[in-house]
A and B are shown apart, each in its own frame.
Chain A
Amino acid sequence: MQTQDTDDAQWVKIATSADLDIPRPVLPITLGGRPLVLFRDDEGKLGLIGRHCPHRGADLCYGRLEDNGLRCPFHGWHFDRSGQCVEQPAEPEGSVMYQQIKVPMVPVIERDGAIFARLGEALEQAAQRETTT
């Protein structure tokens, strides 16, 4: 797998813009054997992040698309398009644990109606390979 930042060849098409032209623009994506979730936030920007919630592993493909990000239905942990956790509503008032929580994020670009993800180190680190069916 190539890792140079400048080489166009390392971008791979993962979806079309039309695929996300649905009432709830969230899609499961498997790339290099790694489970990811692609979503469009309230600002119209794309996020491609690890599919399993870093809390206890729930499947974010069924997440609530709200508040400009994706919210895990298990305990309400909320992630923005960079994969950063921005809210843990079940944790005690004043807890800042969320600042330390980030889901692996794979860079994406949208061009001429197609969505591309960048292969490379970010993907290599993006969660473990899917080992079970």
Chain B
Amino acid sequence: MISDQLNQRITRIGPDTPAGAVLRRYWQPAALVDELDHGARVPVNLLGERLALVRDDEGALQLVTRRAAANETPTHYPASDDIEIDPDGPRYPVEIRAGAIFAYLGTGTPPAFPNFDCFRAPDSHVFAFKGLWECNWLQALEIGIDPAHASFLHRFLEDDDPDDGYGKQFRDKAGSTEIPMTKLLRDYPRPDIQVDETDYGLKITALRHMEDGRTHVRVTNQIFPDAICIPMSREMTITQWHVPVDDETCYWFTIFTSFDKPVNKTLMREQRLKEHRLPDYAPLKNRHNDYHYDPAEQAALTYTGMGLDINVHDQWAVEGMGRIQDRTQEHLGRSDVAIIRYRRMLRHAMSAIEDGTDETLLMQDTGDTAAMCGPLSNDAIAQSDDWREASHMADLDRRAACPWDATV
């Protein structure tokens, strides 16, 4: 449990808030490149600001302030011709990376982009998508740094053929085994969770000690301040930002990165467009239609009764907490260790900006940040107690076989 005052402090992100100040020190995904088809002006609703992507006289993209009515919906998406630019409002720099348009809403010189896999893989090996969640960004991020929930929320009472699992989370085999990931998660629901602070955020290791003496090692990451990097399948990782639209609404922006074959973008886009509407990328299953909850399915097939798409499960979990989770009522357990560590880092960063000691913020040094590789994000099977080595070797093997330069 935390005080209401602290809960407000770590969740609210408007221009003059401490958490908003932290998020504004980092590049944030503002739109998908696909959205540029909208027209000369593309609406962007980010960090409580009403903005638009436009091209300057040289044809370069920039993010400018647009005039907005006070009663606009959070994800209001006007036609290009209806967007009126406010010449006196702030203007922000943007960069295109991996199918997404990143913006820097802070003051001063933007930090460098780290040389993470999602930013160094060729265009053929990355795919970006986004989706709307009707809740505060922090509870959206916190589910991503909670390795235990996958054994429950995403539990499937039957296992599909992993060969049919392209482009889907937890549908591959576990590590180098023939065990479906769904079975492993179901059979071992009490992961031993280790958290290491790193120069980019947190390395989160979930160990599932198997009956045969082997250990399943799943490494996920928190990338400060609002992203995660997690394995999706043997072939792909997910790097995902949870970006505020306003205090009560956020987008997840994901870059899928393949370490093997080029990403089948047509299939990936088709899979996801089937679950979302345009132009606001709102999920078709949502709280207004009970997430298509089916008690019979919950009894027989899935833990939630909300279908096979794990994004819907996560969306239900975080939206059901209320627009801003009331953390004065929460009771964190051992399985929440990464969440506790993350909040400590966020509070430290907020205080550092307020105290003028912001040189201590992660990834702000241009030289070091640009050279930052990884992060290691995979599932591996350790035959012995040396799970660190097993995880490291599995990562090196995948990088060595990668068709693009993924060396670390």
Contacts and interface: CB of A to CB of B under 8 A. Distances in A.
A54 B190 contact: no
Interface string A62-101: 1010000000011110000000000011111101010001
Given A62-B316, A89-B152, A90-B152, A54 B329 contact: yes
Contacts, number: 104
Interface stretch (B28-36, B226-234, B274-282, B318-326): B318-326
A31 B189 CA distance: 35
Given A52-B321, A62-B305, A131-B322, A75 B153 contact: yes
A58 B322 contact: no
A58 B321 contact: yes
A56 interface: yes
Interface string A22-45: 011000000000000000000000
Contacts of B320: 52, 57-59, 62
Given A62-B305, A88-B333, A90-B189, A73 B152 contact: yes
For the complex, would chain B's binding face be called helix, strand, loop or mixed by DSSP majority? Answer: loop
Contact of A75 (B139, B321, B325, B335): B335
A55 B330 contact: yes
Nearest to B295: A24
Contact of B335 (A58, A73, A91, A127): A91
For the complex, would chain A's binding face be called helix, strand, loop or mixed by DSSP majority? Answer: loop
A132 interface: yes
B152 A128 contact: no
A131 B324 CA distance: 10
B135 to A, nearest CB: 9
Nearest to B303: A73
B152 A56 contact: no
A59 B293 CA distance: 13
A54 B322 contact: no
A87 B309 CA distance: 27
Given A76-B189, A95-B334, A52 B317 contact: no
B4 to A, nearest CB: 10
B296 A23 contact: yes
B326 A55 contact: no
B325 A56 contact: yes
Given A74-B153, A89-B189, A55 B331 contact: yes
Contact of A127 (B142, B329, B332): B329
A73 B304 contact: yes
B148 interface: yes
A132 B330 contact: no
Contacts of B139: 56-57
Given A62-B316, A64-B298, A74-B149, A55 B333 contact: yes
Interface string B237-277: 00000000000100000000000000000000000000000
Listed residue (A55, A90, A92, A93) with the most chain B CB atoms within 10 angstroms of its CB: A90
5 contacts: A56-B139, A58-B321, A74-B149, A90-B151, A128-B329
Closest 4 CB pairs of A and B: A59-B320, A57-B321, A90-B148, A24-B295
Interface of A: 23-24, 52, 54-59, 62, 64, 73-76, 88-93, 95, 97, 101, 127-128, 131-133
